[in-house]
Amino acid sequence: MAKRKKTNAVYRFYRETMAELRKVSWPTKKEAISLTKLVIIVIFAVGVFLGMADFIFSRLFGFILS
């Protein structure tokens, strides 16, 4: 009976990671650009909303506490 050689954990992780990455459905360049624009717009909108909410609440608490 032949002894089975133990595989290196790092090598096995790398091999399994590469196998999984081959299964990924990558977006096209056009899709990636449009999704990136969408993310930037959403980040900007959320930033404006949070900035306005912070300003309104700070004024409101300043009015209540003074």
Q: Is residue 19 part of a domain?
A: no
Total domains in the fold of the chain = 1
Say whether pLDDT at 66 is over 90. Answer: no
- Average pLDDT (55-65) is 93
Question: Would 5 be classed as within a structural domain?
Answer: no
> What are the φ and ψ backbone dihedral angles of 28, each rounded to 5 degrees?
-75, 170
Task: Please state, in angstroms and rounded to a whole number, the distance separating the CA atoms of residues 43 and 51.
Answer: 12
Share of the chain above pLDDT 70, in %: 89
Report if residue 35 sits inside a domain: yes
Is 35:27 a contact under the CB 8 Å cutoff? yes
Residue 14: what residue type?
Answer: Y
Structural domain contains residue 63:
yes
Give the number of other CB atoms < 10 A from CB of residue 1.
3
CA 25 – CA 36 distance, rounded (Å): 17
Does residue 8 belong to any structural domain of this protein? no
pLDDT at 27 > cutoff 80:
yes
Judged against a pLDDT cut of 90, whether residue 38 lies above it is answered with: yes
Give the global pTM: 0.62
- Say if 61 falls within a structural domain: yes
